[in-house]
Copies of this chain bind each other. A is one copy, B any other.
Amino acid sequence: MLAGYQLRGVHGQTVEALARRILSGEIPEGATLDLLALREELDVSLTALREALKVLSAKGIIDARQKRGTFVQPRSTWNMLDGDVLRWRSAGPPDPDLLEHLAEVRSIVEPAAAKLAAQRATDTDLADMDDALTRMAGAAGKPGELVDADLDFHRALLGATHNQLVVQMERVIASGLAMRDQVVHNADPADDPVPSHRKVLEAIRAGDAEAAEQAMRALVDKASEDLRRISGH
Protein backbone atom coordinates (compact mmCIF):
# COMPACT_ATOMS: atom_id res chain seq x y z
CA MET A 1 0.00 0.00 0.00
CA LEU A 2 2.16 2.78 -1.28
CA ALA A 3 -0.78 5.17 -1.45
CA GLY A 4 0.91 7.37 1.10
CA TYR A 5 1.09 10.37 -1.14
CA GLN A 6 -2.09 9.61 -3.00
CA LEU A 7 -4.75 12.13 -2.28
CA ARG A 8 -8.04 10.85 -1.01
CA GLY A 9 -10.42 10.06 -3.83
CA VAL A 10 -11.95 13.48 -3.69
CA HIS A 11 -13.63 13.54 -7.06
CA GLY A 12 -15.68 10.61 -8.31
CA GLN A 13 -14.53 8.17 -10.90
CA THR A 14 -16.17 10.08 -13.70
CA VAL A 15 -13.56 12.79 -13.42
CA GLU A 16 -10.81 10.23 -13.27
CA ALA A 17 -12.04 8.48 -16.38
CA LEU A 18 -12.41 11.68 -18.32
CA ALA A 19 -9.11 13.03 -17.12
CA ARG A 20 -7.32 9.87 -18.13
CA ARG A 21 -8.69 10.09 -21.65
CA ILE A 22 -7.63 13.66 -22.06
CA LEU A 23 -4.31 13.47 -20.23
CA SER A 24 -3.33 10.37 -22.17
CA GLY A 25 -3.97 12.17 -25.42
CA GLU A 26 -6.80 9.88 -26.45
CA ILE A 27 -8.85 13.04 -26.64
CA PRO A 28 -6.32 15.49 -28.07
CA GLU A 29 -5.80 19.17 -27.40
CA GLY A 30 -8.23 21.36 -29.24
CA ALA A 31 -10.80 18.60 -29.59
CA THR A 32 -14.43 19.41 -29.12
CA LEU A 33 -16.04 17.16 -26.56
CA ASP A 34 -19.28 15.50 -27.52
CA LEU A 35 -21.10 15.64 -24.23
CA LEU A 36 -23.93 13.37 -25.30
CA ALA A 37 -21.57 10.69 -26.56
CA LEU A 38 -19.45 10.92 -23.41
CA ARG A 39 -22.58 10.69 -21.32
CA GLU A 40 -23.36 7.33 -22.90
CA GLU A 41 -19.81 6.04 -22.92
CA LEU A 42 -19.26 6.78 -19.26
CA ASP A 43 -22.83 5.80 -18.45
CA VAL A 44 -23.60 8.76 -16.22
CA SER A 45 -26.16 11.49 -16.29
CA LEU A 46 -25.48 14.78 -17.95
CA THR A 47 -25.33 16.68 -14.69
CA ALA A 48 -22.77 14.28 -13.26
CA LEU A 49 -20.76 14.66 -16.43
CA ARG A 50 -20.98 18.40 -16.18
CA GLU A 51 -19.75 18.34 -12.61
CA ALA A 52 -16.77 16.36 -13.82
CA LEU A 53 -16.25 18.92 -16.56
CA LYS A 54 -16.36 21.68 -13.97
CA VAL A 55 -13.49 20.06 -12.14
CA LEU A 56 -11.44 19.80 -15.31
CA SER A 57 -12.37 23.34 -16.19
CA ALA A 58 -11.20 24.48 -12.77
CA LYS A 59 -7.84 22.92 -13.55
CA GLY A 60 -7.61 24.68 -16.90
CA ILE A 61 -7.86 21.46 -18.88
CA ILE A 62 -11.05 22.25 -20.73
CA ASP A 63 -13.05 25.34 -21.53
CA ALA A 64 -16.82 25.27 -21.97
CA ARG A 65 -18.27 28.17 -23.89
CA GLN A 66 -21.84 28.62 -24.74
CA LYS A 67 -22.82 27.87 -28.28
CA ARG A 68 -19.27 27.01 -29.32
CA GLY A 69 -18.86 23.84 -27.35
CA THR A 70 -16.51 22.35 -24.80
CA PHE A 71 -12.90 22.24 -25.91
CA VAL A 72 -9.76 20.63 -24.63
CA GLN A 73 -7.40 23.48 -23.89
CA PRO A 74 -3.77 23.52 -25.00
CA ARG A 75 -1.51 21.82 -22.50
CA SER A 76 0.17 25.11 -21.72
CA THR A 77 -2.92 26.32 -19.88
CA TRP A 78 -3.30 23.14 -17.84
CA ASN A 79 -2.56 23.52 -14.18
CA MET A 80 0.49 21.29 -14.16
CA LEU A 81 1.29 22.18 -10.58
CA ASP A 82 -2.03 20.77 -9.44
CA GLY A 83 -1.76 17.58 -7.43
CA ASP A 84 -4.50 15.79 -9.32
CA VAL A 85 -3.12 16.74 -12.71
CA LEU A 86 0.32 15.51 -11.70
CA ARG A 87 -1.16 12.28 -10.42
CA TRP A 88 -3.19 11.74 -13.57
CA ARG A 89 -0.15 12.35 -15.70
CA SER A 90 1.97 9.96 -13.71
CA ALA A 91 -0.75 7.32 -13.99
CA GLY A 92 -0.22 6.99 -17.71
CA PRO A 93 2.92 5.70 -19.39
CA PRO A 94 5.97 7.30 -17.75
CA ASP A 95 6.83 10.50 -19.56
CA PRO A 96 10.60 11.06 -19.49
CA ASP A 97 10.15 14.76 -20.15
CA LEU A 98 7.89 15.15 -17.15
CA LEU A 99 10.37 13.36 -14.91
CA GLU A 100 13.12 15.63 -16.15
CA HIS A 101 11.02 18.71 -15.57
CA LEU A 102 10.00 17.60 -12.11
CA ALA A 103 13.61 17.03 -11.19
CA GLU A 104 14.50 20.42 -12.57
CA VAL A 105 11.90 22.17 -10.47
CA ARG A 106 13.12 20.33 -7.41
CA SER A 107 16.66 21.47 -8.09
CA ILE A 108 15.41 25.03 -8.32
CA VAL A 109 13.10 25.08 -5.36
CA GLU A 110 14.56 22.81 -2.75
CA PRO A 111 18.00 24.37 -2.32
CA ALA A 112 16.36 27.78 -2.04
CA ALA A 113 13.88 26.34 0.43
CA ALA A 114 16.67 24.86 2.51
CA LYS A 115 18.31 28.28 2.57
CA LEU A 116 15.14 29.93 3.82
CA ALA A 117 14.53 27.13 6.29
CA ALA A 118 17.95 27.70 7.80
CA GLN A 119 16.93 31.28 8.49
CA ARG A 120 13.45 30.59 9.79
CA ALA A 121 13.01 27.06 11.10
CA THR A 122 11.34 26.85 14.48
CA ASP A 123 11.94 24.14 17.03
CA THR A 124 8.79 22.44 15.85
CA ASP A 125 10.01 22.46 12.26
CA LEU A 126 13.31 20.97 13.33
CA ALA A 127 11.55 18.32 15.37
CA ASP A 128 9.37 17.41 12.39
CA MET A 129 12.38 17.01 10.14
CA ASP A 130 14.21 15.08 12.82
CA ASP A 131 11.28 12.74 13.26
CA ALA A 132 11.05 12.08 9.53
CA LEU A 133 14.78 11.40 9.40
CA THR A 134 14.53 8.94 12.27
CA ARG A 135 11.78 7.11 10.49
CA MET A 136 13.86 7.07 7.33
CA ALA A 137 16.71 5.47 9.21
CA GLY A 138 14.37 2.89 10.73
CA ALA A 139 12.69 2.02 7.47
CA ALA A 140 15.63 0.27 5.88
CA GLY A 141 14.28 -2.53 3.74
CA LYS A 142 10.69 -1.33 3.78
CA PRO A 143 10.50 0.74 0.62
CA GLY A 144 7.01 2.07 1.24
CA GLU A 145 7.82 3.50 4.65
CA LEU A 146 11.08 4.90 3.38
CA VAL A 147 9.38 6.93 0.68
CA ASP A 148 6.75 8.14 3.11
CA ALA A 149 9.38 9.31 5.57
CA ASP A 150 11.42 10.82 2.75
CA LEU A 151 8.44 12.80 1.57
CA ASP A 152 7.65 13.85 5.13
CA PHE A 153 11.16 15.19 5.50
CA HIS A 154 10.89 17.33 2.41
CA ARG A 155 7.41 18.42 3.41
CA ALA A 156 8.65 19.52 6.81
CA LEU A 157 11.54 21.35 5.19
CA LEU A 158 9.25 23.25 2.88
CA GLY A 159 7.05 24.05 5.83
CA ALA A 160 10.04 25.51 7.63
CA THR A 161 10.28 28.23 4.98
CA HIS A 162 7.00 29.59 6.36
CA ASN A 163 6.08 30.59 2.85
CA GLN A 164 2.65 29.31 1.84
CA LEU A 165 3.52 29.19 -1.83
CA VAL A 166 6.74 27.32 -1.33
CA VAL A 167 4.89 24.79 0.80
CA GLN A 168 2.69 24.03 -2.19
CA MET A 169 5.68 22.72 -4.05
CA GLU A 170 5.20 19.66 -1.94
CA ARG A 171 2.88 18.36 -4.63
CA VAL A 172 5.60 18.55 -7.22
CA ILE A 173 8.07 16.78 -5.01
CA ALA A 174 5.55 14.13 -4.00
CA SER A 175 4.78 13.51 -7.63
CA GLY A 176 8.45 13.32 -8.46
CA LEU A 177 9.08 10.77 -5.76
CA ALA A 178 6.05 8.73 -6.81
CA MET A 179 7.12 8.62 -10.43
CA ARG A 180 10.67 7.77 -9.50
CA ASP A 181 9.37 4.84 -7.50
CA GLN A 182 7.48 3.54 -10.48
CA VAL A 183 10.70 3.48 -12.43
CA VAL A 184 13.35 2.30 -10.01
CA HIS A 185 11.49 -0.19 -7.79
CA ASN A 186 14.54 -1.61 -6.04
CA ALA A 187 16.97 1.08 -5.14
CA ASP A 188 20.61 0.30 -4.70
CA PRO A 189 20.89 -0.58 -0.99
CA ALA A 190 24.48 0.64 -1.13
CA ASP A 191 23.55 4.30 -1.08
CA ASP A 192 21.80 5.20 2.13
CA PRO A 193 19.76 8.38 1.76
CA VAL A 194 19.97 9.23 5.45
CA PRO A 195 23.44 10.85 5.63
CA SER A 196 22.75 13.34 2.87
CA HIS A 197 19.47 14.31 4.46
CA ARG A 198 21.04 14.61 7.87
CA LYS A 199 23.63 16.95 6.44
CA VAL A 200 20.86 19.23 5.27
CA LEU A 201 19.08 19.09 8.59
CA GLU A 202 22.19 19.88 10.59
CA ALA A 203 22.99 22.88 8.43
CA ILE A 204 19.45 24.15 8.95
CA ARG A 205 19.66 23.52 12.67
CA ALA A 206 22.90 25.48 12.77
CA GLY A 207 21.23 28.30 10.90
CA ASP A 208 23.85 28.12 8.19
CA ALA A 209 21.89 29.14 5.11
CA GLU A 210 24.68 28.66 2.60
CA ALA A 211 25.58 25.21 3.89
CA ALA A 212 21.95 24.16 3.89
CA GLU A 213 21.52 25.32 0.33
CA GLN A 214 24.62 23.50 -0.80
CA ALA A 215 23.78 20.29 1.02
CA MET A 216 20.34 20.28 -0.53
CA ARG A 217 21.76 21.03 -3.93
CA ALA A 218 24.04 18.03 -3.61
CA LEU A 219 21.05 15.92 -2.62
CA VAL A 220 18.82 16.86 -5.51
CA ASP A 221 21.70 16.77 -7.98
CA LYS A 222 22.35 13.20 -7.00
CA ALA A 223 18.67 12.37 -7.39
CA SER A 224 18.66 13.90 -10.86
CA GLU A 225 21.80 12.01 -11.70
CA ASP A 226 20.29 8.70 -10.57
CA LEU A 227 17.24 9.40 -12.63
CA ARG A 228 19.20 10.21 -15.75
CA ARG A 229 21.23 7.05 -15.37
CA ILE A 230 18.17 4.83 -14.99
CA SER A 231 15.93 6.41 -17.57
CA GLY A 232 18.72 5.62 -19.98
CA HIS A 233 19.44 9.06 -21.24
Contact = CB atoms under 8 A, between A and B. Distances in A.
Interface string A83-103: 110000000000001100110
Interface residues of A, number: 39
A21 interface: no
Given A51-B50, A51-B54, A82-B79, A105 B165 contact: yes
A163 B55 CA distance: 25
State the oligomeric state as a number of copies.
2
A108 B113 CA distance: 9
Q: Which DSSP category, helix, strand, loop or mixed, fits chain A's interface?
A: helix
Contacts of A164: 75-76, 80, 97-98, 101
A36 interface: no
A105 B54 contact: no
Contacts of A98: 164
A147 to B, nearest CB: 20
A-B CB proximity, top 9 nearest = A58-B58, A108-B112, A55-B58, A54-B54, A81-B81, A101-B163, A105-B165, A51-B54, A101-B165
